[in-house]
């Protein structure tokens, strides 16, 4: 909402400097998003404004300040034709100085013989906008000869003053403009642009803002209720109004304005509409806009004669306005010329021949006012706000009127707006108003009284206010108050629909008292029972472990595409989860982000795809949710906390130290998992079973925790790699459900006794069948050796001569140590014999000869 | 030649040869020749026995001196050779301390995670527990129970991703967690923060994302006031941005709080003097907050006549952007390593 200060001042005394007023409005919930200075200097506190010099290009409104010593209100004394140019005139201007000045101009709205017009007159040295530059470029006015005649100044256009793009002619000021006054004093202005929160629709008008300014600053209001002069015959003779669906239309008023002539609005109205951001059209249309911005009441003007013609065409001799729901499939052409098909949720303004407007949203083409209009039926009504909002949204017809109706226009405002609008139309169009107002008012606006006590104020806001202080604040807001014991009953003023409970009043008290005046206290209330959030703590622990393992955390979009899932099923795309397996967005921004991901692996591949353009090594992880509708409860999907790890590229970045730059593979990802489980104390419960999954090639394993599968680790299948454009190097990927790991952070690890007795090392190389997993061999060794086996390390895997085909050699380094005695070589070789014996019996292992 | 002269000659010869021993091996050969069991020095000592009795004392003294001197010379020579060898080893290669070191691979938290962790730590000190709630929500929890009836104009402030299941949507704010925690905890007092992802149907630009995080705070108790809200947030901001920050509470509107406020902090970059980041206002908006609306308390199961509460919400990305001078929110979820590596 754009609010010109000059207009605001008509209703409220403003003594505060502009910047202070801006701050007070903002703090009280009328957020000033921007302040424009029209022809006047901004206050010193406005930090961004720099000195403007000729040649600068300025943007936005209020581009330049008008020098009070150089730009004035002038009056045309004489206009003559330029002796040497057909299109130019010589204009002599009185601008309050002793001598008049003569300027050469091409303005088409000054003609030889004219005199008396009030103009914006700039003298030499004034900073103006160059009307002939493409951009708004500042120039300094210099006297010069035009076709041989000295031009001593300039009569200015709106563009030259930086007011608008308009350069068709010069500005002609109202006749009462004071000659010789600095233009900045006469036309200079400040326009606040205020963001309106949904509960504050009452400030979507100048008068609404004025009331707030009065309440906030304590200044006096000067609002007078509009009155009109009417004459017979009465309006009732012209039309009837009947509201059929009063759940959607709470009041409908109509007045009749007769014998108006359509013409441009006067300067003052056009100027105000322009300041507020509206384009002036004609007096009738401008009045409906003007009253909407002044009072907040949207009006609609029908051409009465067209309505009457419609009535007569069906044999009636009087217009009847009927407010009802549309019929399903009913057709109607709005004034933008578009034919629209309606449904029964749309409220229509009709006459007996059919629809003439969509209530609160847009008028109809057939009955709109035109340049030929003589008689007007002026509508001022109140509609159910949610319905208007839905209709405007459904038909994609946003407008200033629909904006206000869709947030609530109080029925008690209807007649005020109607009287004001009718009188302005009569004033500006030279007509008169039929007596009385046609008014159907089936749902009178209720007066809601809300109780509030000093205790409520203390309990909710933490401030001690006396009853009198509370009453004073409420009265500043024009609440009517009465006191009953310790309860103050406040009735909101008629123009507010947002007050219905005590909290609404408490908010108003806080706002006017000032949020900044409320003290700061620390919580003194009872401390709630304290609990730990183990799921969150686990996530944090995993992050720390993985970061310590050298992995970068990522956070990807939760949305992806089914297409990307299909890419992870290169061999059997038909096995990919179908649309029913996804939470699908009804209104995605793009197809790439149209479903919620089921797992994080696809996100990780997307992420690698993007990053491998800049880097060849990636070691990343993500902790986040997967969304599984099929596991959900009711309409909501199950949300599973997941971890993904993705690694690719050289193991170490190449540099002068010549580290290991061989490509990362399966065992790097598995190693990260091992380290992670080790840190959580879960290693003993984890096993890896050789099994692949759609996304992986053969180098993959299922990860099992106490026999339950919790995830996978593997090298991504080359076809998947290709589909995601991930280059030639292996991509190792792991995915885990993390909830099963929670118990491990809830239990503390127990210290294993540290032995001071010497350790004995034994190396043992075993030849086993290729099919026997190393993990199984190691497990058997552990079981057999018992508690004295401190460490087991697989240090070599060998295939080939002299090992027979189909066999492999596994070399383990074993460390034996007892907590209670020194183990002798004899003890160690005994254990070794026991191990070899068991391995030989159970898996046919043979000791490899050294 | 007298025996004494022989001894002097012997010593001179031993020392000369010792000086020629240039490594451990030569030194050992010298030792065997001179000091070994059959070496020249022990042989000279043995000669005592063959001397006439009256000469033995004097010769004995002289040969002992010789033995000690040669022994000492040997030790000195051995020490010298060790030091030479060590020095040769130490300085054998050129050394350039400016060559890059061997770095361990460094992992890092995502800046959003790191910021949320910091926020959670600060609030943990004030007794706030972390409560996690779901992302995919119902219209009821995301809007209706938070006092946004269907068709309410305030819904326009939060453009929503709907799903193909009617009334199921991606939460537009973390606030539905307020209802969930209240329904779970009633009749206990509550002090929680609710971090999580939120989603808005918004074109992605430098300033707006379709996905972002929020950290919501909720306190419910028998005696919770707006003054407590102000105190808590001041304490939080002092810890996050440093002591002595100015806060500005501006009246605002959220359907689920009343009174509602937006909170600005004096610009952490210019200290309030005005700069590009604060758009020359001196203030940075960082939080929305307010007293929990009575309808919302009631929807959570708490009687607003008996209980009151406050709620606040902030965007960790917004805070991270301010703290780190990030001017484009899109960096956060594009996960460009060139961005992530800088934290």
Spatial CB neighbours of A113, under 8 Å, sequence gap ≥ 6: A79
Asked if A461's CB is within 8 angstroms of B211's CB, the reply is: no
Structure confidence by residue, pLDDT tens digits, A297-354:
999 999 999 999 999 999 999 999 999 999 999 999 999 999 999 999 999 999 999 9
Among A99-113, A790-804, B296-310, which range has the highest average pLDDT? B296-310
Rounded Cα distance between A600 and A640, Å, is 11
What is the structure's pLDDT at A62? 55
A659 touches chain B (CB under 8 A): yes
Structure confidence by residue, pLDDT tens digits, A523-572:
988 899 999 999 999 999 999 999 999 999 999 999 999 999 999 998 88
Q: How far is B85 from chain A (nearest CA, A)?
A: 27
What is the structure's pLDDT at A850? 58
Average pLDDT score, chain A: 93
- Please provide the CATH number assigned to the domain covering A534-746: 3.30.930.10
Query: Which tops the pLDDT comparison, A831 or A248?
Result: A248
Class assignment of domain A230-440? alpha beta
**Model confidence at A58: pLDDT above 90:** no
**Model confidence at A659: pLDDT above 90:** no
Structure confidence by residue, pLDDT tens digits, A210-228:
999 999 999 999 999 999 9
Angle at A564 between CA A561 and CA A566, to 5 degrees: 115
| Average pLDDT, integer, range A505-528 | 94
Token pair in block for residue A119: 């103009």
* Same domain membership, residue B176 and residue B79: no
Residues of A in Cβ contact (< 8 Å) with B168: 583, 635-636
With bands split at pLDDT 50, 70 and 90, how would you rate the model's confidence at A130?
Answer: confident
* Same domain membership, residue B84 and residue B131: no
Q: Strand A807-816 relative to strand A760-769: parallel, antiparallel, unpaired?
A: antiparallel
Last residue of a domain, one of B31, B57, B90: B90
Asked whether residue B35 is domain-assigned, the answer is: yes
* Same domain membership, residue B115 and residue B85: no
Structure confidence by residue, pLDDT tens digits, A319-335:
999 999 999 999 999 99
Residues of B in Cβ contact (< 8 Å) with A651: none
Structure confidence by residue, pLDDT tens digits, A734-770:
999 999 999 999 998 888 888 899 999 989 999 999 9
With bands split at pLDDT 50, 70 and 90, how would you rate the model's confidence at A49?
Answer: low
What is the structure's pLDDT at A55? 81
Radius of gyration of chain A (CA): 42
With bands split at pLDDT 50, 70 and 90, how would you rate the model's confidence at A69?
Answer: very high
- Percentage of chain A beyond pLDDT 70 is 99
Cβ-Cβ contacts under 8 Å between A and B: the total is 270
Residues 593-612, chain A, touching B (beta carbon < 8 A)? 593, 596, 607, 610-611
Last residue of a domain, one of B56, B90, B124: B90
**Model confidence at B308: pLDDT above 90:** yes
Structure confidence by residue, pLDDT tens digits, B153-195:
778 777 999 999 999 999 999 999 999 999 999 999 999 999 9
ipTM for this model: 0.89
Nearest to A27 among B230, B250, B291 (CB): B250
Asked if B108's CB is within 8 angstroms of A586's CB, the reply is: no
* Separation in Å, CA A376 to CA A239, A260, A272, A433, B171: 11, 8, 23, 10, 49
* Same domain membership, residue B203 and residue B120: yes
What is the structure's pLDDT at A48? 55
B251 touches chain A (CB under 8 A): yes
Rounded Cα distance between B146 and B176, Å, is 7
B226 touches chain A (CB under 8 A): yes
- Domain span at B300: 111-340
Domain at B177, CATH number = 3.30.930.10
**Model confidence at A655: pLDDT above 80:** no
With bands split at pLDDT 50, 70 and 90, how would you rate the model's confidence at A692?
Answer: confident
Average pLDDT score, chain B: 92
Q: Which fold has domain A760-847?
A: Alpha-Beta Plaits (3.30.70)
* Same domain membership, residue B252 and residue B170: yes
Structure confidence by residue, pLDDT tens digits, A113-129:
888 999 999 999 999 98
With bands split at pLDDT 50, 70 and 90, how would you rate the model's confidence at A358?
Answer: very high
CA B81 to chain centre: 49
Residues of A in Cβ contact (< 8 Å) with B252: 29, 31, 197
Q: Are A134 and A108 in contact (CB under 8 A)?
A: no
| Average pLDDT, integer, range A393-409 | 93
What is the structure's pLDDT at B3? 75
* Same domain membership, residue B182 and residue B46: no
| Average pLDDT, integer, range A672-681 | 96
Asked if B163's CB is within 8 angstroms of A585's CB, the reply is: yes
Which residue, A625, A644, A648, A681, is CA-closest to A546?
Answer: A644
Asked whether residue B190 is domain-assigned, the answer is: yes
Q: Are A437 and B203 in contact (CB under 8 A)?
A: no
- Percentage of chain B beyond pLDDT 90 is 64
* Same domain membership, residue B301 and residue B163: yes
DSSP 3-state of A291: helix
What is the structure's pLDDT at A622? 98
Domain spans in chain A, listed from the N-terminal domain onward:
2-39+191-217, 71-187, 230-440, 449-516, 534-746, 760-847
Asked if A527's CB is within 8 angstroms of B107's CB, the reply is: no
Rounded Cα distance between A740 and B68, Å, is 78
* Same domain membership, residue B251 and residue B307: yes
| Average pLDDT, integer, range A796-803 | 90
What is the structure's pLDDT at A50? 61
Asked whether residue B104 is domain-assigned, the answer is: no
Residues of B in Cβ contact (< 8 Å) with A405: none
| Average pLDDT, integer, range B116-135 | 96
What is the structure's pLDDT at B280? 78
With bands split at pLDDT 50, 70 and 90, how would you rate the model's confidence at A444?
Answer: very high
Rounded Cα distance between A318 and A715, Å, is 84
Query: Which tops the pLDDT comparison, A474 or A847?
Result: A474
Asked whether residue B97 is domain-assigned, the answer is: no
Spatial CB neighbours of B13, under 8 Å, sequence gap ≥ 6: none
**Model confidence at A256: pLDDT above 70:** yes
* Same domain membership, residue B9 and residue B54: yes
B182 touches chain A (CB under 8 A): no
What is the rounded (10 degree) CA torsion for A527, A530, A533, A538?
120
With bands split at pLDDT 50, 70 and 90, how would you rate the model's confidence at A592?
Answer: very high
Rounded Cα distance between A811 and A546, Å, is 30
B277 touches chain A (CB under 8 A): no
Asked whether residue B188 is domain-assigned, the answer is: yes
Nearest to B258 among A507, A528, A530 (CB): A507
Interface test with A, best of B226, B290, B316, B343 (most A CBs within 10 A): B226
| Average pLDDT, integer, range A459-486 | 96
A556 touches chain B (CB under 8 A): yes
Query: Which tops the pLDDT comparison, A633 or A518?
Result: A518
Residues of B in Cβ contact (< 8 Å) with A553: 107-110, 113, 340
With bands split at pLDDT 50, 70 and 90, how would you rate the model's confidence at A597?
Answer: very high
Asked if B170's CB is within 8 angstroms of A585's CB, the reply is: yes
A532 touches chain B (CB under 8 A): yes
Asked if B258's CB is within 8 angstroms of A503's CB, the reply is: yes
Query: Which tops the pLDDT comparison, A168 or B153?
Result: A168
The strand ranges marked E within A604-720 are 618-633, 636-648, 686-690, 696-705, 708-716
Nearest to B134 among A390, A461, A639 (CB): A639
What is the structure's pLDDT at A54? 83
Rounded Cα distance between A217 and A196, Å, is 19
B272 touches chain A (CB under 8 A): no
Rounded Cα distance between A642 and A625, Å, is 6
* Same domain membership, residue B142 and residue B20: no
Nearest to A461 among B102, B225, B260 (CB): B225
Total structural domains within chain B: 2
Token pair in block for residue A429: 């169009």
**Model confidence at A258: pLDDT above 90:** yes
- Please provide the CATH number assigned to the domain covering A71-187: 2.40.50.140
| Average pLDDT, integer, range A51-55 | 78
Interface test with A, best of B117, B154, B248, B250 (most A CBs within 10 A): B250
B168 touches chain A (CB under 8 A): yes
Nearest to A615 among B251, B280, B337 (CB): B337
Residue in chain A nearest B248 by alpha carbon: A516
Asked if A637's CB is within 8 angstroms of B136's CB, the reply is: yes
Asked whether residue B267 is domain-assigned, the answer is: yes
| CATH for A449-516, options being 3.40.50.280, 3.30.56.10, 3.40.50.1980, 2.30.110.10 | 3.30.56.10
Asked whether residue B328 is domain-assigned, the answer is: yes
What is the structure's pLDDT at A200? 94
| Average pLDDT, integer, range B235-245 | 92
**Model confidence at B87: pLDDT above 60:** yes
Q: Do domains A2-39+191-217 and A449-516 have the same CATH topology?
A: yes
Evaluate whether the domain defined by A2-39+191-217 bears CATH number 3.30.56.10: yes
Nearest to B132 among A511, A535, A618 (CB): A535
Asked whether residue B96 is domain-assigned, the answer is: no
Residues of A in Cβ contact (< 8 Å) with B223: 459, 524-525
What is the structure's pLDDT at B237? 95
* Same domain membership, residue B31 and residue B124: no
Residue in this structure with the two tokens 């022990």, named with its chain if needed = B42
Asked if B102's CB is within 8 angstroms of A637's CB, the reply is: no
3-state secondary structure chain B: CCHHHHHHHHHHHHHHHHHHCCCHHHHHHHHHHHCCCCCHHHHHHHHHHHCCHHHHHHHHHHHHHHHHHHHHHHHHHHHHHHHHHHHHHHCCCCCCCCCCCCCCCCCECCHHHHHHHHHHHHHHHCCCEECCCCCEEEHHHHCHHHCCCCCCHHHHHCCCCEECCCCEEECCCCCHHHHHHHHHHCCCCEEEEEEEEEECCCCCCCCCCCEEEEEEEEEEECCCCHHHHHHHHHHHHHHHHCCCCCEEEEEEEECCEEEEEEEEEECCCCCCCCCCCCCCCCEEEEEEEEEECHHHHHHHCCCCCCCEEEEEEECHHHHHHHHHCCCCCCHHHHCCHHHHCCC
What is the structure's pLDDT at A498? 93
Asked if B221's CB is within 8 angstroms of A511's CB, the reply is: no
Residue in this structure with the two tokens 């005696």, named with its chain if needed = B223
| Average pLDDT, integer, range A439-463 | 96
With bands split at pLDDT 50, 70 and 90, how would you rate the model's confidence at B51?
Answer: confident
| Average pLDDT, integer, range A146-155 | 89
* Same domain membership, residue B119 and residue B82: no
């Amino acid at each position: 909402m754009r609010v010109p200060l000059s207009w605001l001042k008509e209703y409220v005394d403003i003594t505060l400097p502009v910047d202070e007023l801006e701050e007070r409005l903002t703090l009280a919930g009328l957020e000033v998003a921007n302040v424009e200075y029209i022809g006047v200097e901004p206050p010193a506190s406005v930090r961004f404004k720099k000195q403007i010099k000729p040649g600068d290009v300025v943007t936005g409104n209020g581009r330049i300040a008008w020098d009070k010593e150089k730009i004035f209100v002038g009056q045309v004394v004489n206009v003559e034709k330029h002796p040497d140019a057909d299109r130019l005139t010589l204009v002599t201007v009185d601008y309050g100085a002793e001598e008049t000045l003569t300027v050469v101009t091409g303005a088409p709205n000054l003609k030889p013989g004219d005199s008396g017009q009030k103009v914006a007159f700039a003298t030499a040295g004034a900073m103006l906008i160059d009307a002939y530059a493409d951009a708004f470029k500042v120039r300094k006015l210099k006297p010069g000869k035009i076709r041989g005649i000295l031009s001593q100044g300039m009569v200015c256009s709106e563009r030259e003053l930086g007011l608008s793009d308009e350069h068709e002619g010069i500005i002609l000021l109202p006749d009462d403009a004071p000659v010789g006054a600095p233009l900045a004093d006469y036309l200079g202005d400040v326009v606040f642009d205020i963001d309106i929160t949904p509960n504050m629709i009452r400030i979507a008008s100048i008068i609404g803002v004025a009331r707030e300014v009065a309440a906030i600053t304590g200044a006096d209001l000067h609002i007078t209720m509009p009155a009109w002069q009417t004459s017979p015959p009465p309006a009732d003779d012209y039309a009837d109004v009947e509201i059929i669906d009063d759940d959607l239309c709470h009041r409908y008023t109509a007045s009749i304005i007769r014998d108006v002539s359509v013409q441009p609005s006067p300067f003052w109205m056009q100027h105000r509409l322009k300041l507020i951001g509206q384009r002036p059209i004609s007096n009738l249309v401008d009045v409906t806009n003007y009253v909407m911005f002044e009072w907040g009441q949207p009006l609609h003007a029908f051409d009465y004669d067209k309505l009457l013609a419609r009535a007569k065409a069906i044999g009636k001799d009087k217009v009847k306005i009927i407010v009802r729901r549309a019929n399903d499939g009913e057709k109607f052409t709005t004034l933008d010329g578009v034919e629209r098909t309606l449904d029964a949720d749309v409220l229509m303004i009709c006459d007996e021949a059919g629809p003439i407007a969509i209530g609160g949203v847009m008028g109809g083409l057939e009955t709109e006012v035109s340049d030929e209009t003589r008689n007007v039926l002026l509508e001022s009504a109140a509609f159910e706000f949610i319905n208007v909002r839905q209709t405007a949204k459904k038909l994609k017809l946003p407008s200033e009127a629909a904006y206000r109706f869709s947030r609530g226009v109080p029925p008690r405002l209807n007649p005020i707006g109607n009287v004001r609008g009718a009188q302005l139309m009569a004033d500006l169009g030279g007509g008169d108003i039929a007596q009385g107002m046609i008014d159907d008012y089936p749902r009178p606006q209720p007066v809601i009284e809300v109780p509030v006590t000093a205790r409520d104020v203390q309990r909710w806001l933490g401030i001690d206010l006396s009853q009198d202080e509370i009453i004073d604040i409420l009265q500043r807001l024009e609440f009517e108050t009465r006191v009953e014991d310790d309860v103050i009953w406040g009735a909101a003023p008629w123009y507010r629909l947002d007050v219905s409970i005590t909290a609404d009043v408490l908010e108003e008290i806080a706002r006017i008292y000032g949020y900044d005046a409320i003290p700061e206290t620390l919580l003194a209330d009872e401390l709630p029972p304290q609990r730990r959030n183990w799921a969150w703590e686990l996530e944090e622990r995993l992050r720390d472990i993985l970061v310590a393992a050298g992995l970068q955390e990522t956070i990807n979009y939760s949305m992806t595409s089914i297409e990307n899932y299909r890419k992870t099923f290169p061999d059997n795309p038909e096995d990919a989860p179908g649309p029913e397996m996804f939470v699908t967005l009804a209104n995605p921004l793009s197809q790439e982000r149209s479903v919620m991901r089921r797992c994080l692996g696809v996100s990780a591949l997307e992420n690698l795809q993007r990053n491998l353009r800049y880097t060849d090594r990636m070691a990343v992880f993500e902790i986040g949710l997967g969304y599984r509708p099929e596991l959900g409860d009711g309409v909501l999907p199950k949300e599973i906390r997941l971890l993904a790890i993705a690694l690719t590229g050289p193991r170490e970045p190449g540099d002068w130290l010549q580290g290991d730059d061989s490509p990362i593979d399966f065992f790097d990802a598995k190693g990260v998992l091992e380290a992670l489980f080790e840190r959580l104390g879960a290693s003993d419960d984890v096993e890896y079973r050789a099994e692949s999954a759609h996304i992986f090639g053969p180098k993959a394993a299922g990860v099992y925790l106490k026999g339950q599968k919790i995830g996978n680790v593997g090298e991504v299948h080359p076809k998947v790699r290709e589909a995601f454009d991930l280059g030639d190097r292996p991509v190792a990927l792991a995915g885990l459900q993390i909830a099963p790991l929670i118990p491990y952070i809830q239990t503390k690890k127990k210290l294993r006794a540290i032995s001071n007795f010497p350790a004995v090392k034994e190396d043992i190389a075993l030849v086993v069948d290729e099919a026997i997993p190393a993990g199984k061999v190691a497990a058997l060794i552990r079981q057999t050796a018992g508690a004295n086996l401190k460490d087991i390390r697989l240090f070599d895997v060998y295939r080939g001569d002299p090992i027979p085909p189909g066999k492999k050699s596994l070399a383990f380094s074993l460390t034996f140590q007892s907590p209670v005695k020194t183990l002798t070589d004899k003890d160690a070789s005994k254990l070794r014999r026991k191990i070899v014996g068991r391995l030989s019996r159970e898996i046919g292992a043979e000791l490899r000869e050294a | 030649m007298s025996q004494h002269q022989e001894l002097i000659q012997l010593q001179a010869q031993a020392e000369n040869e010792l000086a020629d021993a240039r490594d451990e091996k030569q030194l050992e050969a010298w030792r065997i020749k001179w000091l070994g069991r059959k070496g020249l020095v022990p042989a000279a000592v043995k000669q005592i026995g063959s001397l006439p009795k009256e000469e033995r004392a004097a010769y004995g003294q002289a040969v002992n001196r010789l033995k000690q001197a040669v022994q000492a010379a040997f030790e000195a020579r051995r020490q010298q050779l060790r030091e030479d060898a060590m020095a040769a080893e130490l300085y054998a290669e050129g050394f350039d301390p400016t060559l890059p070191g061997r770095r361990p691979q460094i992992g890092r938290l995502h800046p959003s995670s790191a910021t949320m962790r910091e926020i959670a730590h600060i609030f943990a000190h004030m007794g706030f527990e972390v409560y996690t709630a779901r992302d995919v929500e119902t219209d009821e929890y995301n809007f209706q129970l938070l006092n946004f009836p269907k068709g309410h104009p305030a819904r326009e402030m939060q453009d929503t991703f709907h799903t193909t299941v009617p009334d199921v949507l991606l939460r537009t704010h973390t606030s539905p967690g307020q209802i969930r925690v209240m329904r779970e905890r009633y009749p206990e007092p509550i002090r929680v923060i609710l971090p999580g992802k939120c989603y808005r149907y918004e074109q992605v630009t430098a300033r707006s994302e379709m996905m972002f995080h929020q950290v919501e705070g909720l306190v419910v108790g028998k005696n919770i006031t707006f003054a407590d809200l102000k105190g808590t947030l001041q304490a939080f901001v002092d810890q996050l941005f440093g002591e002595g920050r100015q806060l500005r509470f501006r009246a605002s509107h959220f359907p689920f709080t009343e009174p509602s406020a937006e909170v600005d902090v004096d610009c952490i970059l210019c200290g309030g003097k005005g700069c590009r980041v604060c758009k020359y206002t001196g203030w940075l908006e960082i939080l929305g907050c307010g007293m929990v609306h009575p309808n919302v308390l009631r929807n959570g199961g708490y009687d607003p006549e008996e209980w009151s509460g406050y709620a606040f919400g902030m965007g960790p990305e917004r805070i991270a952007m301010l703290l780190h001078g990030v001017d484009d929110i899109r960096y956060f979820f594009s996960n460009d390593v060139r961005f992530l590596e800088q934290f």
